[in-house]
Structure 1
Amino acid sequence: MHKPKDIFIEGAIPPAMIADSIAKHQTKTEIGAHSIFLGQVRKDVINEQQVAAIEYTTYKDMALEKMHEIREEIFAKYPLTCMHIYHSLGIVNAGEICLFVFTSSAHRKEAIDACEEVVNRIKAELPVWGKEIFENESYQWKQNK
């Protein structure tokens, strides 16, 4: 039984961190497939206002316990070599990455199926909320703070 891992990162997930994570797996030669999901903040228009960013909040202890439960169930269901999950907290601007799920296994089907299930369960079960920040003065104030 693994202990809960902290999946949260303050702000956007840096592309260099994603690249580094992929590079580190080149030494694990028993892996034949990786599946990666990257969630990106969209610049949606809601009620004629354009989204500039999303501010993510959570009940961290509760979310980490739930993520631990999901993680254990996914490892029990699929023959994975490893699974990495990172979710942003705080403000993430439109176009930036807010969710990174990376699953690895000997074969592609298991890696893909596990990755898809993890993403779906995060969206459905994890107590993480996103509040849109629209392009206006208050957003500029927060951005420059």
Structure 2
Amino acid sequence: MKNIVITSEPLNSQLCINSVADNGSGGLVVFIGNVRNKTKGKEVKYLDFEAYEAMALKEMQKIAREAIERWHLYDMAIHHRVGRVGIGEAAVVIACSSAHRKESFKACEFAIDTLKKTVPIWKKEVFEDGEVWVSAHP
């Protein structure tokens, strides 16, 4: 699928939006997961993401295919960043379009929740006094 991307470059949410836009779409939903500056009250400097890329791409494609089929989407884009990602930068962008907004909202939520559970992407939180690998699966 052309709209499934893993990259070390900054993510472009408008590119994701443009890639799923359709004249029949009454609902286009975008989720942007940004790096926040604190976790559990502790100051975060940046995050570092690693992926088993071949498997991660396959899993992301599987998520998109299921969402497209289940909610009758026009299209879905999932872009995930790897490497060092700074505070306020996007780590993941998911966009989808459908005839009606409800389906797009449900599909987008399904995609991020499933991505966190099944896609082999790991994150390391870096602090002033150290770093820790954290589970992306809450």
TM bracket, shorter-chain basis: 0.7 to 0.9
Instruction: Mark the runs of 5 or more structure 2 residues left unpaired by the alignment.
Output: 132-138
Instruction: Mark the runs of 5 or more structure 1 residues left unpaired by the alignment.
Output: 139-145
Structure 1 or 2, whichever has the larger Rg, is 1
Match of 1:34 in 2: 28
Tell me, yes or no, if structure 1 residue 22 matches structure 2 residue 14: no
Cα offset, 1:19, TM superposition: 2.6
- Identity of aligned pairs, percent? 30
Cα offset, 1:42, TM superposition: 1.0
Inter-CA distance 108–95: structure 2 relative to 1 (3 Å threshold): same
| Structure 1 runs of 4+ with >3 Å offset | 3-6, 20-26, 135-138
Of Structure 1 and Structure 2, the greater helix share is in 1
Contact 1:12 1:91 in 2 (8 A): no
Inter-CA distance 30–8: structure 2 relative to 1 (3 Å threshold): same
Match of 1:117 in 2: 110
* Count of residues in Structure 1 that have an aligned counterpart in Structure 2: 131
Cα offset, 1:20, TM superposition: 4.2
Tell me, yes or no, if structure 1 residue 44 matches structure 2 residue 9: no
Contact 1:12 1:93 in 2 (8 A): no
Tell me, yes or no, if structure 1 residue 9 matches structure 2 residue 7: yes
User: Could you tell me the TM-score, scaled by structure 1's length?
Assistant: 0.79
Cα distance in 2 between the residues matched to 1:69 and 1:137: 36
Match of 1:98 in 2: 91
Of Structure 1 and Structure 2, the greater strand share is in 2
Question: How large is the RMSD of aligned CA atoms in angstroms?
Answer: 2.4
Deviation by residue 1:34-54 (Cα, 9 ceiling, x = unmatched): 1110000011155x7521100
